[in-house]
Amino acid sequence: MTAHDKPGPRVSRNCGNCRSVKRRCDRQRPHCGQCIRLRERCPGYRDEWELVFRNDTDKTIKRVKEKKAKTTATPNIAPPTCSLSPRVDDLGVNYFVRHFVIGGRADARGCLNYIPSIYHADGEQSTLVASMSAVGLVALANASQHPELASHARAKYLEAIRNVNAALACPVESIKDSTLMSVISLGIFEHVSAYESWARHVRGAAALLVARGKSQFSTPVAIRMFNQVRKDLVIVCFRSDEAFPEEILELQEEAARYTDTSTSAWIMGVLSTRCVTVLTKVRENMYKVGFPWIGILDEASLLARDFEDLAAVLAVQEPYLVTRMPDLDSDMVPNGVYAVFKDAWAIRLWSNQRTLQMVVYEIIYWILVKILSTDLEAAIRDQMKVKLHRTMHTLSKLGDDILAIAPQAMELVCCSAPKSGPPFGLSVQGSVSGGYLMTWGLFMIAKSAAPKPETRKCAIRLLQDIGRNTGMSVALHLVQIAIEICQKMG
C-alpha cells in the first residue's frame, strides 16, 4: 500500500508475540511489558517505515508501462496533462525507501535509516516526501533509462525546493528536523546531478545547522543528521581547499554532550574534521621554503594511529566476512575477493573509515616525499625511506580493502547476512545507493600512486560504471580528474 492508495486494514504496531496471540501489547521499548511479565523472548516490533509505506514498485512500474503502451496504441487520443500522477510520486518515494532507508530488507539499516523517526516526529511532511520522491525518481530514471521519469524527478525537485524555501522563511518550520532532512535528501539529488551544485547544497545544509543552534541536539536523530552534514562538509573541504568551519566544530563540541562518543560513527566524524585540519596546514605551507614538516608529519602519524584504533572498534561493532570466489568477473572483483557486511549502514561506516584513512596516508606520503627532497643526514634519510615504503604498502592495502566493499555495495554480488553465507548473482545496472556510498572511496584509489595497477584500473572502471549506469555525474566528474592525475604520473 502506498501513501495515496485507499486505506486498507490498520497495520498492527504490536510486538510479534502479541500479534500472534492477538493480545493487547503495551509497546514498551526495547521489549514489550507483556513478554517480560510472561518471561517470553520478545521478538521486537516491525520496522516503523513499513507502517508508512509498503514497496509496490513493481506494480507501479507495470501500471506506468501499461499507461504508456495504451497511449502509444491510440495516437488520436489527446496526450495526458503534464501534472504528476500520485502513483509516480509514490514510485519515487518507494524507490528511495528501498535503496536509502531500509537497504533492501526490512531488518536492515540503509544509509539514511533514521528518516522514519523524523517522518513520525514532525508529521507527514510534504516537503520531506517531495524530496524523497525527487531523489527516488531521478535514481530510478537513471538506473532504468526512462527519460520520462527524469522529467517527473525534476518537477518533484523543483516542488521540494519551493517547499524548502518556504520552510526556511518560517521561524518555526526552519528549525524542524524534517526541514534539515529535506535539505540533506535534496543534496543526494545534486550528488546525482553535478558536483558543484552538490557542494553548494552541502554548504547550505551546514548553514542550516548553524542557524538551528546548540539547542538542536535534543533527539538522537538530530545527532545523526549532524553527522551526515559533517561528513559531506569534510568531502567539500577536501576538494575545495577550504578549512573546516569553526561554527561546525563548536556544534560538534555541543553535540558530544548528547551522544555516545564511544561509537565508531561519532569517533569517525571527529577524526574526519582532524583530517581537514591537517590537510589545511599542509596546503597553507606547501610552498614555503625550509618549512619544518616534521611537526605536521607527527600530527598526521598520530591521526593515522587513531584511525587504526577506530578500525579495531569498528571490527567489534560492525564485523564482516571476507569471501574468496575466484570464478567471479575479475574486472569487477579482482582476485574474486570481496567483503560481506550486515547491511548498507555497515558498508557506509567501513567505506568512510577506509577512505578517510587513505586521505591521512596520502598526506603522510606527500610530506615524506617533501622531506626526502631536502638535504638530510644518512640515518634520517634511511628512516624516512622506510616510513615511505610502509606508507605505500598501507595505501595499497587500503585500496584493496575499499575495492572489496564495492561488490556488495554495488550489488554486483547479492549477499545475504554474514551468518547465512554469501550466495551471489551478478547485477546488470548496479546500485544507485551503492554508488552514493562508494564514489569517494573509489576516487581515492583511482588517483593514488600506491595501489596496484589492476586495483586502480578496477576503481576507474567502477566509477565509470556508476556514472553511466546510475547517471551519477559526480562519479564521471571524479573519474575524469583521476584519469588526468594518472596521466601526469605516467
Measured CA to CA, the distance from residue 391 to residue 375 in angstroms comes to 21
324's enclosing H/E stretch is: strand 321-324
Measured CA to CA, the distance from residue 150 to residue 136 in angstroms comes to 10
Query: What does the pLDDT read at residue 443?
Result: 93
Measured CA to CA, the distance from residue 365 to residue 254 in angstroms comes to 34
Q: How many Cα atoms within 13 Å fall on the side-chain side of residue 143?
A: 21
Measured CA to CA, the distance from residue 50 to residue 102 in angstroms comes to 9
Query: What does the pLDDT read at residue 153?
Result: 84
Query: Which SS3 state, helix, strand or coil, does residue 476 take?
Result: helix
CA distances from 85 to 153, 286, 465 (A): 12, 56, 31
- What 8-state DSSP symbol labels residue 22? T
Exposed/middle/buried for 282, CB within 10 Å: 0-12, 13-18, 19+?
middle
Query: What does the pLDDT read at residue 415?
Result: 56
Query: Which SS3 state, helix, strand or coil, does residue 468 take?
Result: helix
Task: Indicate the angle between helix axes 473-489 and 195-212, nearest 10 degrees.
Answer: 110
Amino acid at 227: N
C-alpha cell at 324: 574468496
- Do the beta carbons of residue 186 and residue 157 sit within 8 Å? yes
| 375 φψ region: left (φ > 0), alpha (ψ -120 to 50), beta (else) | beta
Measured CA to CA, the distance from residue 356 to residue 341 in angstroms comes to 19
CA distances from 369 to 155, 364, 388, 451 (A): 51, 9, 8, 17
Measured CA to CA, the distance from residue 371 to residue 292 in angstroms comes to 9
Task: Say which residue the cell 545527532 belongs to.
Answer: 223
Measured CA to CA, the distance from residue 212 to residue 228 in angstroms comes to 15
pLDDT tens for the chain, 490 residues long, are: 333 343 344 556 788 778 877 788 887 766 788 777 777 878 776 644 444 334 444 444 454 445 445 444 434 433 333 344 557 888 888 888 887 887 655 556 777 777 777 766 655 577 888 888 888 888 888 777 777 788 888 888 888 888 888 888 888 888 888 888 888 888 888 777 677 888 888 998 999 999 999 999 988 888 989 999 999 999 999 988 889 999 999 999 999 999 999 999 999 999 999 999 999 999 999 988 889 999 999 999 999 999 999 999 999 999 999 887 766 555 666 667 889 998 888 999 999 999 999 999 999 999 999 999 999 999 999 999 999 999 999 999 999 999 999 888 887 776 544 333 333 333 334 577 888 889 999 999 999 888 888 888 889 988 888 888 777 778 888 888 888 887 777 6
- Do the beta carbons of residue 160 and residue 182 sit within 8 Å? yes
Amino acid at 355: T
Residues 6+ apart with CB under 8 A from 146: 140
Phi, psi of 238 (to 5 degrees): -60, -45
Query: What does the pLDDT read at residue 4?
Result: 38
Task: Say which residue the cell 501500471 belongs to.
Answer: 63
Measured CA to CA, the distance from residue 69 to residue 181 in angstroms comes to 37
Sign of CA dihedral 382, 384, 388, 394: positive
Measured CA to CA, the distance from residue 11 to residue 8 in angstroms comes to 8
- The DSSP bridge partners found for residue 322 are 339
Query: Which SS3 state, helix, strand or coil, does residue 433 take?
Result: helix
Measured CA to CA, the distance from residue 58 to residue 465 in angstroms comes to 24
Task: Say which residue the cell 501513501 belongs to.
Answer: 3
Phi, psi of 116 (to 5 degrees): -55, -35
Cα angle, residue 45 at apex, residues 39 and 51 outer, rounded to 5°: 155
Exposed/middle/buried for 427, CB within 10 Å: 0-12, 13-18, 19+?
middle
Measured CA to CA, the distance from residue 304 to residue 309 in angstroms comes to 9
Q: What is the DSSP string of 187-229?
A: HHHHHHH-HHHHHHHHHHHHHHHHHH-GGGGGSHHHHHHHHHH
User: pLDDT tens digit string along 283-311?
Assistant: 999 988 889 999 999 999 999 999 999 99
Query: What does the pLDDT read at residue 490?
Result: 62
340's enclosing H/E stretch is: strand 337-340
Query: What does the pLDDT read at residue 122?
Result: 54
- The DSSP bridge partners found for residue 338 are 323
Query: What does the pLDDT read at residue 68?
Result: 46
- What 8-state DSSP symbol labels residue 12? P
C-alpha cell at 489: 604520473
